[in-house]
Amino acid sequence: DGHSWCYDSHCDHSPDKWHLLPDAKCADERQSPIDIVSEKAQFDEKLKSFKFKGFDNKHAIKYITNTGHAVKCVLKDGLVEVSGGGLEHDYSTLQFHFHWGTANSNGSEHTMDSKRYPMEMHIVNKRKDLTLDKALKTHDGLAVLGFFIEASQSSKSSSGGSHTNPTSGSTSNEAGWKNLTKYLPNIENIVGSTVDVTEEISIDDLLGSVNLHSFFRYDGSLTTPSCNEAVVWTVFKDPIKVEKDLMEKFPKHAGYQNVFRPGGGTCASKMKWFVVAAVCVLVPD
Ligand code: B30
Ligand code: ZN
């Protein structure tokens, strides 16, 4: 689909002009991303833990593609699902993709108390009872899970599969990221190109041991045109840690320099948050 939008100022529709695109909602009321103001988030006990199905499936990725504005991993139909987490419907996972920047200080779309991380991963889920077309026109048609990504202190152990880090006790996601980034040179120069995935990569392999019980929730939008206000957003509080050399394998040539929407909405007062087994302080607006 020939996109006439971009993230820099070298096309007709840079982010400040996205709302001029046909049918775009990019200047509407519940736009994403937002700055998460943690002090303003209200604890919501209705937000329970998530149920993830197929996140451990090592053969769920159909292909990886260069969309012209992101690296996207498209999943096989029906293998991966998300429910719980206070979502009111069951969702099937369609794809995940990444946003990143040229410097370590930018790349994420959401920010946490004004902090912008170097990358953000979005796992895109569609209501099982709706077609994609219908979901894009429904206020909770999509549920996107957002994860901040941060550079880990490289341990430089070159062991293969997931292993337990003796110092932190956490599971390494290094093998997953190695396998994923291996494919990037095959697609980085041609928009629309795809590469089939033969390596074993599960979503769990990429998430590693990140805390899935502490997240922020708000109603927002797609962060790309047409910016449909169809997304129940979950942004996990703790970043995924990825080795700096692996993060640097995401393309940074023209067109891929800062593939994140720089701003969006400011609906932080409607923010809900959830954390399992913690003392929750309610901060009034
Ligand atoms: S995001 O997670 O908010 N960045 C879509 C899903 C999630 C996000 C952004 C967009 C999406 O599904 N967009 C509609 C489908 N696209 C196909 C595509 O993803 O490749 C059509 C389109 O936009 O015209 Cu380009
Ligand atoms: Zn995204």
Q: How far is CA 192 from the centre of its chain?
A: 20
Ligand nearest the Cα of residue 98 is 2
Rounded to the nearest whole angstrom, what is the distance from the C-alpha of residue 202 to the centroid of ligand 2?
19
CB atoms near residue 57 (< 10 Å): 17
pLDDT of amino acid 263: 76
Choose the catalytic residue: 10, 59, 69, 253.
69
Q: What's the CA gap between 190 and 187, in Å, rounded?
A: 6
pLDDT of amino acid 285: 41
Please state the atom number of ligand 1 nearest to the C-alpha of residue 99: 4
* Model confidence, pTM: 0.90
Name residue 249's amino acid: K
Please state the atom number of ligand 1 nearest to the C-alpha of residue 146: 2
Contact assessment for residue 140 and residue 89, using Cβ atoms and an 8 Å cutoff: yes
- With a cut of 70, list the residues of the chain below it in pLDDT: 1-3, 154-171, 254, 264-285
Enumerate residues with CB within 5 Å of ligand 2 (an ion).
122
- Supply the DSSP string of 42-85, one letter for each residue: EE-TT---EEEESTT-TT-EEEEEE-SS-EEEEEPTTS-EEEET
**Token pair 């290094």 is at which residue?**
174
Q: How far apart are the first and last CA of the chain?
A: 43
Ligand nearest the Cα of residue 221 is 1
Classify residue 13 by its DSSP letter: B
Rounded to the nearest whole angstrom, what is the distance from the C-alpha of residue 222 to the centroid of ligand 2?
7
Helix (H, G, I), strand (E, B) or coil at 243: strand
Q: What value of ipTM does the predicted structure carry?
A: 0.93
And the tokens for 142? Answer: 């999509």
110 has catalytic annotation: no
CB neighbour burial string for 94-130, b if at least 16 within 10 angstroms, e if fewer: bbbbbbbbeeeebbbbbbbeeebbbbbbbbbbbbeeb
And the tokens for 285? Answer: 């607006």
Contact assessment for residue 208 and residue 171, using Cβ atoms and an 8 Å cutoff: yes
In this structure, the residue with its CA closest to atom 3 of ligand 1 is 222
Contact assessment for residue 44 and residue 35, using Cβ atoms and an 8 Å cutoff: no
CB atoms near residue 240 (< 10 Å): 21
Rounded to the nearest whole angstrom, what is the distance from the C-alpha of residue 222 to the centroid of ligand 1?
7
Any atom of ligand 1 within 6 Å of the Cβ of 223? yes
